[in-house]
Amino acid sequence: MSLDTATVRRIARLARIGIEENETEGLARELNGIFGWIEQLDEVDVSGVAPMIGTGLATPRMREDVVTDGDRRDDVLSNAPDRVDAFFTVPKVVE
Amino acid sequence: MTYRIEGRTGTWEIVVGLEVHAQVISQAKLFSGASATYGGAPNTHVSFIDAGFPGMLPVVNRECVAQAVRTGLGLAAHINVVSRFDRKNYFYADLPQGYQISQFEHPIVGSGVIEIELADGATREIGITRLHLEQDAGKSMHDQDPTRSFIDLNRSGVALMEIVSEPDIRSPEEAGAYVRKLRQILRYLGTCDGNMEEGSMRADVNVSVRQAGEAFRTRCEIKNVNSIRYVMQAIEAEAQRQVEVWESGGTVDQETRLFDPGRGETRSLRSKEDAHDYRYFPDPDLLPLVLDEGWVAGLKASLPELPDAKRARLEADYGVTRYESGVLTAEQAIADFYETVARGLDTRLATNWVLGDFFAALNRTGRSIEDSPVSAASLRALLGLITDSTINGKIAKDVFEEMVDTGDEPMAIVERRGLKQVTDTGAIDAAIARVLADNADKVAEYKSGKDKLFGFFVGQTMKAMAGKGNPALVNEALKKQLAD
Amino acid sequence: MAADTPNALDMSLVEARDGLVRKAFSSVELTTAALAAVEALNPRLNAYITVTGDQALAQAAQADAAIAAGEAGPMAGVPVGIKDLFCTKGVRTTAASNILRDFVPPYESTVTANLRRDGAVFLGKTNLDEFAMGSGNLTSAFGPVENPWKRAGSDAALVPGGSSGGSAAAVAAGLGFGATGTDTGGSIRQPASYCGITGIKPTYGRCSRFGTIAFASSLDQAGPMARTVADCAVMLGSMAGFDAQDSTSVDRPVPDYLAACGRSLKGLRIGIPREYHAPGMPAEIEAIWQQGIAWLRDAGCEIVDVSLPHTKYGLATYYIIAPAECSSNLARYDGVRFGARVAGGTLDELYENTRRAGFGDETRRRIMMGTYVLSAGYYDAYYLKAQKVRSLIQRDFTDVFADVDVLLTPTAPSAAFAQDEKPSDPVQMYLNDIFTVPASMAGVPAMSVPAGVDAQGLPLGLQLIGRFFDEETLFAVGSALERAAAFTHRPALRASDVARAGIAS
Ligand SMILES: [Mg+2]
Ligand SMILES: [Zn+2]
């Protein structure tokens, strides 16, 4: 399947990565090259094969319902590029 | 009672399905050890996991899983002993990881059912499609700064149950009854407090309309409706809008909308070019959620009695009416209160008192059953005083008022105020003799056939006895003396 | 050997540790020497992004005190490098990305906490490919790392391999007795091979991922890189262990890996997977592989030809699954809570500007690939398909390990290449990991051991792949290979020479 510039724009948008209009052509070519190579997987017969989700090595575990964390506001905010009082900020969102 | 919209081109039926987000009652969050408590200063109930810091990993909270299982059992639903967490990927200011951990393909709870009752007493079954566990997002505040929105992550990572109904709902009233019943079940189970003002329950409402005999038409999803009244209003407004769109030759687009209670209308939330593509995939940081069957059985065994069962039992055991059982089981605390009062007593007397004077007192004092001014034990004691003829019913009402005001026990009030019933026939006879002597003219009238005056003599006698006369004995003695 | 003699930094980690415990020299002396070497060589090698001299000396003094008190941990006083993907509390952690250029984690990764517990001294944070995505340490926002090895008669800057290129170059050059690495598709083993050192990717779940910046969660594993097999054994013993904070961490005891290094190989069955005879593989690689086979046969192993039929598909599968997970894992770098932010008029502009400027070309490319393979209409064709192929790859390994104890393969299809020979086609670059990726996909442990040099004098590594949690057999076979290979070659640029020059002047 061929990946066109509209698709490049769509996935860049989904991934929130800004791209310039003059880049889309090159990106499409590059991604097409990679996915063309990936198409070799079409040769593999996977009928009846269950997908592998994780390595299946660990045993499922759950944490107890105890408050063991939090109350570290200053640490949580210590790397914020912009903050007001105890809040992170973003450009105003209008809904 | 069928809900229909009469349009220009015909009669329309509405089709509604609800996705209710119910916040799980737990100490800690779904995947972190931070507090799940509502409120708190901004960004204090936040771990690095909840803030999506690099290298942070989720570990699932056992109690949140148990709460989901309890809820599933309470909805008579199938419990999936193997389920899985998926990532729902999207960018938003209050979604720190850039994805929400949710359950997409394999939810923890499968299909179940809720029976709702409508105003006319009719009942309907609404199917539950599924229940899954997921994380809540943080909170954006848009009105504190002219150019910026502020982000508080206290809610980020709190466990939610998303309970999805089948598109079985056919009227705003049914939708309201559904949410009310769901909330009642959650509260009985202790899995969600159902507090819609604090956002611990909110509904996404899927609405479409169709004409008779049609398949489903396109639906719209109204997001985050936070009261039962708004759910009902939003359905009406949206259904009306869709009928108008169809009838004017347009098409309804599948989209997300918001309900504006001020204007009583819905409006489109996101522009169309920003189509959603959540790119769900299994969260590689988490293993499948595997439940021990014995553990599930243990949760099942420890479930409380649920509203429908309790209602049936109250009707059978206490002889209350269908209507009364509905009121008495609206909240578990009311039913508990009622049973504490009524067990072993004259159940009719108990029912009348709880639904009458007691509810009136709650209303008047603005208190809830949990902080009622009169305890169930005290009310039971008061009714005991009536039953064993310590006081009569009329005096009991006075005593009750004083119990509400002072919180004192009924016997203490009766003794303090000397309200015990007089059963000494000598005292009763003496009081009657005095009343008859003082009203010789009325006695003459009575004897000449004016039977109605009997009530007058009863009243005068009770008044003379400060209301404390045993009514049965007073009647009996009066009849005797008037016959002489 | 005293710590201030020129060759002190050439000691193995085990030798340094034993010398410290014997009090032949102090950790402060050793650390001072190592820091001096870093100061002298790092401007050229660029192996460290951040050097934490003051902290290192403080840790060294603590280690000396612990040694004096007879409470030395297994890594007490040993200076090591930490790949800049492990969060270190109060010390800038960048993932070699502009988006984290100034990020200072208020927490410590479990792996580095374990090393601290055992007394290790951290010289600093080593360079890597951005977010561990790359095979040449060419994608770092902090510039490329130069491999300390040189082709005979050439001063061309070679790549150290990647993504743990800074760790590999630092260890090879003697700027630390070991270093932590992470391996997602070969990021420990391939640079170890390029730099003539040993590195092991343990079984998935052996080392905690908590506090390690994620690239592809289902593949990422931390592991040690050091100059000898025994050094790796000591270091892995410290790094490994169960961690309740990582749901994929496996709860089983950590064996004594060092004790396994001397084990006899008598009766071990070594599988030689025929699919690793890649078309176009250089004759020298083939030759070193045959040499490795001969060594193990001489050590008493039985050599068995085996087949892992889905090997060929490992790489294509990897380039679906790893980018998919990465596209999601890297969504958190949005300029809101931490990291660099590029302003925007709207929230989406903020995201798009920040992520465009903050991520380099390769990272952006992988995020786009991952976004694509998960997107509506493509999930089944790519992601789901890849997960099924991954099942088959894992099954290949479990099948073959019913018959053999260890697999022996080359680590990489070539020796280190020059920085300016970087292929322009991303797929050509991806092919560097062709031999390392399958073990990553399966989750089994794998080790690279230096086995010889090519005609130009560049190191070549051999890879050993073992059963789940059977790192001990890898250490046993690895140390036998190491003995047989008697790999005494040293890189052109190294700390001991700098120290010697310093002493001479
Ligand atoms: Mg929804
Ligand atoms: Zn939801």
| Per-residue pLDDT tens over the stretch C395-444 | 999 999 999 999 999 999 999 999 999 888 888 888 889 999 999 999 99
The mean pLDDT value of chain C amounts to 96
The residue among B46, B83, B49 whose CA lies nearest residue B161 is B83
Chain B partners (3+ C-beta pairs within 8 A): A, C
B151: nearest CB among C95, C336, C383: C336
Residues of C in contact with B286 (CB under 8 A): 247
Tell me the CA–centroid distance for residue B131 and ligand 2, in Å: 10
C247: nearest CB among A10, A12, A61: A61
Closest-approaching ligand to the CA atom of B225: 1
Residues of A in contact with C308 (CB under 8 A): none
Say how far apart CA C145 and CA C169 lie, in whole Å.
7
Using 50, 70 and 90 to split pLDDT, how confident is the model at C6?
low
Name the more confident of B390 and C468.
C468
- CB within 8 Å of chain A, chain C residues 146-165: none
Instruction: Calculate how close chain B gets to A80, using CA atoms only, in Å.
Output: 11
Asked if the peptide bond before residue C163 counts as cis, ω within 30 degrees of 0, the response is yes
Task: Note whether A58 contacts C249, CB cutoff 8 Å.
Answer: yes
Query: A interface mutation test: which of C89, C374, C388 has the most A CBs within 10 A?
Result: C388
The predicted-structure confidence for C65-86, as pLDDT tens digits, reads as follows 999 999 999 999 999 999 999 9
Backbone angles phi, psi at A85, to 5 degrees: 50, -120
C327 touches chain A (CB under 8 A): yes
Say how far apart CA B205 and CA B215 lie, in whole Å.
19
Task: Note whether B149 contacts A92, CB cutoff 8 Å.
Answer: yes
Task: Note whether B148 contacts A95, CB cutoff 8 Å.
Answer: no
Q: Which helix (H) or strand (E) holds B141?
A: strand B139-141
Closest-approaching ligand to the CA atom of B256: 1
Tell me the CA–centroid distance for residue B365 and ligand 2, in Å: 39
Task: Note whether C344 contacts A19, CB cutoff 8 Å.
Answer: no
Query: C interface mutation test: which of A24, A34, A75, A95 has the most C CBs within 10 A?
Result: A34
Instruction: Calculate how close chain B gets to A37, using CA atoms only, in Å.
Output: 23
pLDDT at C499 over 80: no
Instruction: Calculate how close chain A gets to B409, using CA atoms only, in Å.
Output: 41
What average pLDDT score do residues A49-66 get? 93
CA angle at residue B135 from B134 to B139, to 5 degrees?
A: 145
Beta strand residue intervals within C320-424, DSSP E: 406-410
pLDDT at residue C427 in the model: 86
Q: Residue C256: CB partners within 8 Å, gap ≥ 6?
A: C237
Q: Which helix (H) or strand (E) holds C38?
A: helix C27-45
Query: C interface mutation test: which of A7, A13, A14, A16 has the most C CBs within 10 A?
Result: A16
pLDDT at C5 over 80: no
Is C83 in the active site? yes
Task: State the helix-helix crossing angle for B471-483 and B453-464, rounded to 10 degrees.
Answer: 120
C189 touches chain A (CB under 8 A): no
Q: Which domains does chain C possess? A: 8-268+485-501 (3.90.1300.10)
Task: Note whether C387 contacts A30, CB cutoff 8 Å.
Answer: no
Say how far apart CA C416 and CA C464 lie, in whole Å.
20
The residue among C353, C378, C355, C379 whose CA lies nearest residue C367 is C355
Backbone angles phi, psi at C23, to 5 degrees: 65, 30
> CA B368 → CA B198, B325, B359, B362, C377, distances in Å?
18, 19, 10, 6, 53
The predicted-structure confidence for B401-431, as pLDDT tens digits, reads as follows 999 999 999 999 999 998 888 888 888 999 9
Say how far apart CA C459 and CA C439 lie, in whole Å.
22
pLDDT at residue A95 in the model: 63
> CA C32 → CA C3, C54, C61, C79, C121, distances in Å?
9, 10, 11, 10, 11
pLDDT at residue C505 in the model: 37
The predicted-structure confidence for B215-271, as pLDDT tens digits, reads as follows 999 999 999 999 999 999 999 999 999 999 999 999 999 999 999 999 999 999 865
Residues of C in contact with A69 (CB under 8 A): none
Task: Note whether B91 contacts C245, CB cutoff 8 Å.
Answer: no
Tell me the CA–centroid distance for residue B163 and ligand 1, in Å: 9
pLDDT at residue B272 in the model: 47
Tell me the residues of B at the C interface, defined by beta carbons under 8 Å apart: 48, 51-60, 87, 89, 91-93, 96-99, 149, 151, 277, 279-281, 284-287
User: Could you tell me if the ipTM is greater than 0.90?
Assistant: yes
pLDDT at C504 over 50: no
Tell me which amino acid residue C98 is.
Answer: N
Task: Note whether A91 contacts C350, CB cutoff 8 Å.
Answer: yes
pLDDT at residue B275 in the model: 63
Tell me the CA–centroid distance for residue B19 and ligand 1, in Å: 6
A15: nearest CB among C204, C320, C371: C371
Q: Residue C187: CB partners within 8 Å, gap ≥ 6?
A: C128, C129, C132, C135, C162, C163, C164, C181
Tell me the CA–centroid distance for residue B246 and ligand 1, in Å: 25
pLDDT at residue B247 in the model: 96
A21 touches chain B (CB under 8 A): no
Active-site entry in C140, C187, C414, C496? C187
Say how far apart CA C415 and CA C396 lie, in whole Å.
27
Q: Residue B367: CB partners within 8 Å, gap ≥ 6?
A: B373
pLDDT at residue B1 in the model: 57
Q: What is the 3-state secondary structure (H, E, C) of C246-304?
A: CCCCCCCCCCCHHHHCCCCCCCCEEEEEHHHCCCCCCHHHHHHHHHHHHHHHHCCCEEE
Closest-approaching ligand to the CA atom of B17: 1
Q: Which helix (H) or strand (E) holds C123?
A: strand C121-126
The predicted-structure confidence for C185-212, as pLDDT tens digits, reads as follows 999 999 999 999 999 999 999 999 999 9
Q: Which domains does chain B possess? A: 4-297 (no CATH), 313-417 (no CATH), 425-483 (1.10.10.410)
The predicted-structure confidence for C11-63, as pLDDT tens digits, reads as follows 999 999 999 999 999 999 999 999 999 999 999 999 999 999 999 999 999 99
pLDDT at residue C1 in the model: 61
What average pLDDT score do residues C369-383 get? 96
Ranges of residues in chain B with a pLDDT under 70 are 1, 270-275
B46 CB-side CA count, 13 A: 31
Task: Note whether A51 contacts C388, CB cutoff 8 Å.
Answer: yes
Say how far apart CA A92 and CA B149 lie, in whole Å.
5
Measure the N-to-C terminal CA separation of chain B; round to a whole number of Å: 63
pLDDT at residue C222 in the model: 98
Boundaries of every domain in chain A: 5-42
The predicted-structure confidence for C222-250, as pLDDT tens digits, reads as follows 999 999 999 999 999 999 999 999 999 99
Say how far apart CA C265 and CA C301 lie, in whole Å.
6
Residue B17 DSSP SS3: strand
C375: nearest CB among B55, B93, B277: B277
- Cβ contacts below 8 Å, chain B against chain C, sum to 97
Say how far apart CA C189 and CA C207 lie, in whole Å.
16
Task: Note whether A93 contacts B153, CB cutoff 8 Å.
Answer: no
